[in-house]
Structure 1
Amino acid sequence: MATAALALGLPALVGYLDAKYHLASDLHLISCLVFCKVQAAMREKRDRVNAFYVLEEHAQKFPERSYIWFEGRDYSFGEVFEMAKRYGNWLRDEYGVKKGDVVAIDFMNSPQMAFVWMGLWSIGANPAFYNYNLSGDALVHVVKVSTAKLAIVGQNVEENIGVKKQINEALPEVKVVILDRSLEDRIGRWRADRPGDELRSGALQTEMACLIYTSGTTGLPKPAIVTWWKVTLASKFVGMWLRMKPGVDRYYTSMPMYHASAGMFNVMTCLQVGATSCLGEKFSTKAFWSDVRASDATMIQYVGETCRYLLAAPPSPDDKNHKVTKAFGNGLRGDIWKQFRERFGIQTIGEFYGATESVSATWNLNTGDWGVGSIGVQGTLLNLMTRGATAVVDLDYETEEIWRDPVTGFCKKVPNGERGELIFKLDEKNIGATYKGYYRNEKASNSKLMKDVFKKGDVWFRSGDVLTFTDDGLIYFNDRIGDTYRWKSENISTMEVSNAINSHPRQIVQDSVVFGVPLPKHDGNAGVAAVVLSPDVSEDQATFDDLLKFLQGSLPKYAVPLFIRVIGEVERTGNNKIVKGGLRKQGVDPEKTSGPGGVWWLKDGRYQRFTDGDWSGISAGRVKL
């Protein structure tokens, strides 16, 4: 009887312990991580770090299995492997690309982008992924700082942006090649012999595999070094953590491949797992689900805005007419989490938090009500593993700097339930083992580091984000700090926007401060430029028409501020740092923005006066931005 009672009570006890300490979640994550670390170490020992070898292995084992789907066509692992060899040989033969060279890639999502990418890896070169929206000074900047002497540009990007002319005029030493249909056909007939191992030999997991640009505090995009460790371990981890099935799962994304989310956590994840990456050229609410159905996708990738846009579309009888069981991404807000899952019949949400240049991430594999809106779950086992490796520290929200004790000079951890900046411990004796920073930019790389945090000599990585850890093991994202905000899936540099505003040839603006503010019923933070107009400039329609025309020619479309607020002066600290805290708290709520000038917003293609009625429309969800 005692044995029977124990047998009956054991499942209940196990369930109780799991609910309290999140043992199953932790064990799953830890087992995936350990497996990937061991596999990555074995690849390094065998001198097979380069991901070209993974493509080759899949092409040999199952050459007919689909690797990439695009616009109704499947491209098998065997086909992509053949094209990678042809593109690699073409790059060597035609342009003399050598092992270790950096070559720019400027494409919208397409198989051809993957061909160029894999072709570069096949010969030991490093791709630098450019944002296809960039033009003008930002485009020239990303080319220059990458050190690339060759740029391969997609035909549709060239037609939309005119990349070749802009680069040729500013950087005549850079060769720009437009991959049009005739060139594709030519490369398709190029020699397909396998580039020798010596071109890829000697690569270490801690070395650079590619460059992915991120907007930071310097005002222009910076190339973050993505190591083979992230390409192999991190992307494989995502596939295992999501329990992806090789040869079965088909994983759809319309997020841009030049970002780490789609590039590393879709295209590379599918490569590592042996699944199919289903690509949409770019995100479209209208085309999203039809693409998902056409591709037979079993998984989708999102950013928070994606989910809200899909929910904003009129309900359809086809909302659940698909094979998707999982959605993976970052930025899904708690207020629409359950609604999104229930309307579209998606069983599992895989939410993560991280950054291209970061040294760690958080993970939440959610199927029920508990954990909705959380960016991570961290139970007892993970707490033990990460003890001393992560911390949430107090901030001075007026200066946006981490708070330090005036006596000791050390920082202060905040207790669970309180907001603070997330930081990660680095090995002060070997910082480069886990943190590579930005390519050939020591100053920018060091700006993400903080020393003497809790004791003399320690070194920590700053996430730049405000998070909250709870007593029951959940992690919540609160806000970005510093000079970057996120809007429409892009991180936007406030300094870049401010510099553009201040550089108007007619000097419309005397001073400015740019920041992001949350809006009701919207994800991300909308851009607000608080400006001090020059004394001889009137706050009228002609002024704002002139300013908008200039900004549209100077900034990517997504970076043009949605709101302009006219203020009397910009507040600064004693050391001349701008204080944004008060303005950010006021946002664009008419009740909080009284002052010498008004608020204008981008509506129907021009800046117009922002009224109480406009604010009511946003607050009620009647206005989609």
Structure 2
Amino acid sequence: MSQMNQPDLIGIADVAAKIPAFLNKIPNLLHGLKQAYLRTPNTPTGLGMAFEKAVLRNPDGNALLFEEQRYSYAHLNAWANQIAHFYLSLGAQKGDVVAVMIENRPELIATVIGLAKIGVTIALLNTSQVGKVLAHSINLVKPFAVIAGEECRVALDEIRHELAIAAGHFHWFADQDTQTDAGQAPEGFVNLAEKIDLFPKFNPSTTGSVQGKDGLFYIYTSGTTGLPKAVIFSNGRWTLAYGTYGHVLNLNQEDVMYCTLPLYHATGMVVCWCGVIAGSSALAIRRKFSTSSFWKDVKKFDASAIGYVGELCRYLMDAPPSEQEHGHRVTKMIGNGMRPNIWDKFKARFGIKEVLELYASSEGNVGFSNVFNFDNTVGFSPTPYAIIEFDKERNEPVRDTKGHCKRVKKGETGLLIGKITRRSPFDGYTDPEKNKSVIMTDVFTKGDAYFNTGDLVRDIGFRHAQFVDRLGDTFRWKGENVSTTEVENMLTEYDKIVEAVVYGVEIPNTNGRAGMAAITLQPGSELNEQDLKQMVSTFKQCLPAYAIPVFLRIQQQVETTGTFKYQKNQLKEQAFDPQKTDERLLVLLPNATEYCELTQEIFNNIQAYQYRF
């Protein structure tokens, strides 16, 4: 199809038709953009300051809802202040790091606000992590202290001997409403709820000294080196998200945002909560997403907006229709990964008017937001970027005779890169070598610099794009980015596996790619019935559930490094189709505790959506 007659391309006339609906957002959006862009690295700004302003605007209004608990802005602020004063008393100061491992519940939110107010960088640990991966994630950021919820304590206890943290700095919250009952701390942990109760509730004097350049979060992303990378998320970057995504949502004091996304990821912690703080609205949270409870909770909390990722939308669409999904006041949703094939159906079934799809990465400097409410797009970007031609076979950008990259034409797909400027800085990783590997220079002119997102997107016009695919040694499954190298390293922990090649494969009617591993066994060994169960048990001890391979392929040998990339491409293409290989295929079916043989019948049933992965 030529670029001129592709129906989803956007032109000036299409944007003009959206302007009337967009006009009522403009005052709020301009207010947000002013805060986002009229800042420097030295400007006092950030989450702590924005939250204190929201408290002044709506002290008695609901700030946080969880299960049967309700917290006003004034109450939540006072609680956070006690946490801030406690850590100040320990000598914590701006630039220190505290690692936090608590599931979605009020203790996590109060902790984040309190630490943000004193300029401490909060390492948001993935609550699914265990073993070597968890120890690596904590040691990587050299924390002053670690705060664990009781629900995560066992995982922390197992690796605490590997951590260089002072004995008295292992802090703990009971797995209950600690504002009414502090609980009894286990041996080796300090009861944080008891300690903070002795400290004042007024705002600390440090909030105004936190600047844009100061770190707010460490958010962990899948690392191609085999273990998670810690990405620094500065207060300035948070303010950019607050001024853009936060104000595009256009929430007010009557609104409630329901978020079931894990708050150790930026979509939940930054994007969803930004909009709430900007509108002095209420954030309603749940520990983990539940299809059966989703619309019940929406009604219980009287939610008017929801946060999403593509997988969440698919689960809701798969569920049988119920009375609960009607009669609510949700009209807006914000997130990423909504699949084009369900976009219209989702809006129609659940009564959604605005899908604020967005594109951003924890480490990147370029973002898109669907401010004009078009369908099937990650939206519009005000930040400087380019979409350039990319050769997938060579796995590199196409350059002309002068060595410069070439922009794609409207309607075409290419590699998304973000220009690094003073207003669009690249904050980077903890690893300087990793920073070098993702910065492209001399892209269009000598001396320019761009951040390589590693994502292929399609230019659909008027600074709008569609997400197409992710490059590199990661794949996305269950809303999480998975490092193939990390999984490869962990699979070889099983005695019989000597080599593993991990890659993502598409399963019909699912989002992202499921993990598949081509494994080579010890010479002379085979996988027996006991192995099929034992492998799952072993993998669960060292990998989060979403990273455990769904499919295994038993190979005689792995290709040598020289042809490794080609081999991986061929493995991806053959995927788990029994007709494309004579090698043994295994599958971990939904809710199963062991792998089973992937027969032609099972393959056909997967294709026919008989299993819900």
CA deviations on 1:293-322 (whole Å, 9 max, x unpaired) are 111100011111001111212211222131
Per the alignment, do residues 35 and 59 of structure 1 end up closer, same or farther by CA in structure 2, a change over 3 Å counting? closer
1:585-624 superposed matches below 5 A? 585-592=573-580, 594-595=581-582, 597-603=583-589, 604-624=592-612
TM-score between both structures, scaled by the size of structure 2: 0.88
CA deviations on 1:201-254 (whole Å, 9 max, x unpaired) are 54332332221111121221111111112222312322321222x211100001
Alpha-carbon offset, residue 416 of structure 1: 2.7
Per the alignment, do residues 510 and 188 of structure 1 end up closer, same or farther by CA in structure 2, a change over 3 Å counting? closer
Q: Distance in 1 between matches of 2:500 and 2:566?
A: 10
The match for 1:189 among 169, 191, 197 is: 197
Answer whether contact 2:55 2:280 (CA < 8 A) is retained. Answer: no
Answer whether contact 1:72 1:295 (CA < 8 A) is retained. Answer: no
Equivalent residue, structure 2, for 1:179: 173
The match for 2:441 among 444, 451, 463 is: 451
CA deviations on 1:497-550 (whole Å, 9 max, x unpaired) are 01112233x2x2333211111211111110111122332222543443343332
Question: Do residues 468 (structure 1) and 458 (structure 2) align?
Answer: yes
Answer whether contact 1:399 1:581 (CA < 8 A) is retained. Answer: no
Equivalent residue, structure 2, for 1:5: none
Per the alignment, do residues 110 and 154 of structure 1 end up closer, same or farther by CA in structure 2, a change over 3 Å counting? same
Q: Distance in 2 between matches of 1:550 and 1:314?
A: 35
Per the alignment, do residues 421 and 16 of structure 1 end up closer, same or farther by CA in structure 2, a change over 3 Å counting? closer
Q: Distance in 2 between matches of 1:457 and 1:30?
A: 36
Q: Distance in 2 between matches of 1:611 and 1:99?
A: 58
Question: Do residues 372 (structure 1) and 375 (structure 2) align?
Answer: yes
The match for 1:62 among 35, 58, 64 is: 58
User: 1:238 aligns to what SS in structure 2?
Assistant: helix
Equivalent residue, structure 1, for 2:179: none
Equivalent residue, structure 1, for 2:477: 487
Question: Do residues 162 (structure 1) and 125 (structure 2) align?
Answer: no
2:406 aligned partner, one-letter code: K
Supply the RMSD in Å over aligned alpha carbons: 2.8
More off after superposition, 457-466 vs 446-455: 446-455
More off after superposition, 488-497 vs 322-331: 322-331
User: 2:508 aligns to what SS in structure 1?
Assistant: coil
2:484 aligned partner, one-letter code: T
Answer whether contact 1:398 1:580 (CA < 8 A) is retained. Answer: no
The match for 1:206 among 213, 231, 243 is: 213
2:199 aligned partner, one-letter code: R
| Percent identical | 31
1:113 aligned partner, one-letter code: L
Answer whether contact 1:398 1:582 (CA < 8 A) is retained. Answer: no
CA deviations on 1:351-410 (whole Å, 9 max, x unpaired) are 11111111111122576xxx433222x4xxx6xx66xx32222333234333445x5443
Question: Do residues 436 (structure 1) and 427 (structure 2) align?
Answer: yes
Answer whether contact 2:475 2:481 (CA < 8 A) is retained. Answer: yes
CA deviations on 1:401-441 (whole Å, 9 max, x unpaired) are 33445x544333332333221111114xx6x96111113x1
Report the number of matched residues: 586
Alpha-carbon offset, residue 576 of structure 1: 6.5
Answer whether contact 2:33 2:244 (CA < 8 A) is retained. Answer: no
Equivalent residue, structure 2, for 1:262: 268
User: 2:453 aligns to what SS in structure 1?
Assistant: strand
Per the alignment, do residues 473 and 114 of structure 1 end up closer, same or farther by CA in structure 2, a change over 3 Å counting? closer
2:67 aligned partner, one-letter code: E
Per the alignment, do residues 187 and 293 of structure 1 end up closer, same or farther by CA in structure 2, a change over 3 Å counting? farther
Per the alignment, do residues 109 and 590 of structure 1 end up closer, same or farther by CA in structure 2, a change over 3 Å counting? same
Answer whether contact 2:386 2:416 (CA < 8 A) is retained. Answer: yes
Q: Distance in 2 between matches of 1:51 and 1:242?
A: 17
User: 1:359 aligns to what SS in structure 2?
Assistant: coil
The match for 1:525 among 513, 520, 531 is: 513
Q: Distance in 2 between matches of 1:433 and 1:418?
A: 25
2:151 aligned partner, one-letter code: N
Per the alignment, do residues 170 and 202 of structure 1 end up closer, same or farther by CA in structure 2, a change over 3 Å counting? closer
Alpha-carbon offset, residue 284 of structure 1: 1.0
Q: Distance in 2 between matches of 1:89 and 1:110?
A: 21
1:489 aligned partner, one-letter code: G
Equivalent residue, structure 1, for 2:222: 215
Per the alignment, do residues 332 and 16 of structure 1 end up closer, same or farther by CA in structure 2, a change over 3 Å counting? closer
Equivalent residue, structure 1, for 2:330: 324
Answer whether contact 1:537 1:543 (CA < 8 A) is retained. Answer: no
Q: Distance in 2 between matches of 1:482 and 1:225?
A: 21
Equivalent residue, structure 1, for 2:112: 117
Equivalent residue, structure 1, for 2:3: none
1:425 aligned partner, one-letter code: K
Q: Distance in 1 between matches of 2:271 and 2:440?
A: 28
Alpha-carbon offset, residue 30 of structure 1: 8.5
1:375 aligned partner, one-letter code: V
Question: Do residues 394 (structure 1) and 389 (structure 2) align?
Answer: yes
Equivalent residue, structure 2, for 1:98: 93
Answer whether contact 1:303 1:489 (CA < 8 A) is retained. Answer: yes
Equivalent residue, structure 1, for 2:5: none
CA deviations on 1:155-194 (whole Å, 9 max, x unpaired) are 2222xx4313422354454632111233465246322253
User: 1:520 aligns to what SS in structure 2?
Assistant: coil
More off after superposition, 554-563 vs 180-189: 180-189
1:256 aligned partner, one-letter code: P
Equivalent residue, structure 2, for 1:274: 280
Equivalent residue, structure 1, for 2:121: 126
